[in-house]
Amino acid sequence: MSDCVFGFGSLVEVAALADYLGRAPFAAEEYHLCRLAEYRRRWNIARDNGEDVSGLDHFVRGGTGQRVDGFIVSVNIVAAPGDWVNGIAFRASADEIATLDKREANYDRIEVTDLIDSAPGDRVWAYRGKAECEARYTAGVAAGTAMINSAYHTVVHLAFESHGADFLADYLATTDPPEVPLLPLRRASDLNGET
């Protein structure tokens, strides 16, 4: 049985994805533009930037290099009967899925095979935000300390744009606008010892 992963955010940019996985570029038959039914895209999961998590960078303010006190928000999919989101389904080996499981630490990997309209494999997985990450988002919104890294927001937008104007239009139509500010943040590891 071959496995695929459905990407609905930054994973849609296949060149960057292949580079991240340390593999050759995806051949045309290794991924498909497709839709996931019964879900909608929302910016509604967060991690606490004050917590040190092994393997994850913390974020700092772009101008000062000071560690951000707050919750960093990411894109997610939420159950929404009758709705759908666009994305890509790409073939992934067991090792590549293990790599993605580590990267997507704020998400649970769920099987969505029967909800995908077209995929290049037998079984399809997607990453849905963990309940505790949705709860952190809610807490951050209530406290006024939730934010989106504007560079990440742009990466997601450009990932969809890379597949054409219609694909980008579908992304915009199937994504709730962010409810929190977009701020210019930087990963601490990008500062090369400046902090």
Q: Give the other-Cβ count within 10 Å of 125's Cβ.
A: 20
What's the pTM value of the predicted model, to 2 decimals? 0.92
Query: CATH number, domain at 26?
Result: 3.10.490.10
Q: Does any domain span residue 185?
A: no
pLDDT band at 41 (very low <50, low <70, confident <90, very high): very high
Decide if 32 is inside a domain: yes
Counting the structural domains of the chain, the total is 1
The per-residue pLDDT of the chain, averaged, comes to 92
Confidence of residue 120 (pLDDT cuts 50, 70, 90): low
How does residue 2 score in pLDDT terms, banded at 50, 70 and 90?
confident
Q: Which of 62-71, 133-142, 170-179 has the lowest mean pLDDT?
A: 62-71
Residue 173 lies in a domain: yes
pLDDT at residue 189 tops 90? no
Is residue 61 assigned to a domain? no
Q: Is residue 63 part of a domain?
A: no
What is the tally of helices (H) and strands (E) in the chain?
Answer: 5, 9
Q: What does the pLDDT average to over 139-155?
A: 97
Domain of 163 in residue numbering reads as: 3-49+74-134+151-178
Query: What's the pLDDT tens digit per position in 52-105?
Result: 876 678 899 877 888 999 999 999 999 999 999 999 999 999 999 999 999 999
Residue 141 counted as domain residue? no
**Within a domain: residue 139?**
no
pLDDT at position 62: 75
pLDDT of the residue at 55: 67
Does the residue 41 lie in any domain? yes
Handedness of CA 165, 18, 79, 75 (dihedral sign): negative
